[in-house]
A and B are shown apart, each in its own frame.
Chain A
Amino acid sequence: QQQVKQSPQSLIVQKGGISIINCAYENTAFDYFPWYQQFPGKGPALLIAIRPDVSEKKEGRFTISFNKSAKQFSLHIMDSQPGDSATYFCAASIEGAQKLVFGQGTRLTINP
């Protein structure tokens, strides 16, 4: 019940296209859903995060869509660029529990 399932495992998108990564969770106590971006040899960096009281959050080319009833959330990267090529992780946490539960990661490649 503490798992967060992420798909796809890898994704190839053409430059300018839309990249979509999906995550699903079981624990309805989760109340914070961040997305992290990780480049090879680096630590994860927070990209964007959402709370379950909103259904969508947009920051620049990055949008999180959240479906509370389906217990799913997704990351959309609009106008994908080669510099977006990285591994993306969704995560979830419960306020007060501190620890982040991460999905398995999606390796995104943007072809020029």
Chain B
Amino acid sequence: NAGVMQNPRHLVRRRGQEARLRCSPMKGHSHVYWYRQLPEEGLKFMVYLQKENIIDESGMPKERFSAEFPKEGPSILRIQQVVRGDSAAYFCASSPRRTGAGNEQFFGPGTRLTVL
């Protein structure tokens, strides 16, 4: 059973370009979470999605960032018109059901975005 897969692992973009980060959850998982990790900092929640629905986007910047989890295919985190401050590691996690006390989120290896 493959774990959470993310691609690309490394992404370099110039200021003003778009970045698309993909996440394939573990088999049987229908809940996806995106987190951002700045250098030397902890992970910050961005968004929680179920298939075709955004459940909680309270951690997502209001502009330039969007996320989707279509019925078919991976979850996508999209960053438009990237700026240097977007440089970070972006992690996706998945869980088999609504995460509550005692339920685990399984993390992928992350996508390291560098904005030149």
Contact = CB atoms under 8 A, between A and B. Distances in A.
B26 to A, nearest CB: 12
B105 interface: yes
Interface residues of B, number: 30
Contacts, number: 67
B100 A43 contact: no
B94 to A, nearest CB: 11
Nearest to A6: B42
A19 to B, nearest CB: 18
A49 B108 contact: no
Q: For this complex, into which size category does the number of interface residues on chain A fall?
A: 20 to 34
B interface, over-half SS: loop
Given A43-B109, A51-B102, A93-B99, A99 B42 contact: no
Contacts of A31: 101
Interface string B13-45: 000000000000000000101010000111111
A6 B40 CA distance: 13
Given A32-B102, A89-B43, A98 B33 contact: yes
Contacts of B93: 43
Given A42-B110, A98-B33, 20 more contacts: A34-B104, A36-B107, A43-B108, A44-B91, A49-B102, A49-B104, A93-B99, A95-B100, A95-B101, A98-B31, A98-B99, A99-B33, A99-B58, A99-B59, A100-B33, A100-B43, A101-B45, A102-B35, A102-B44, A104-B42
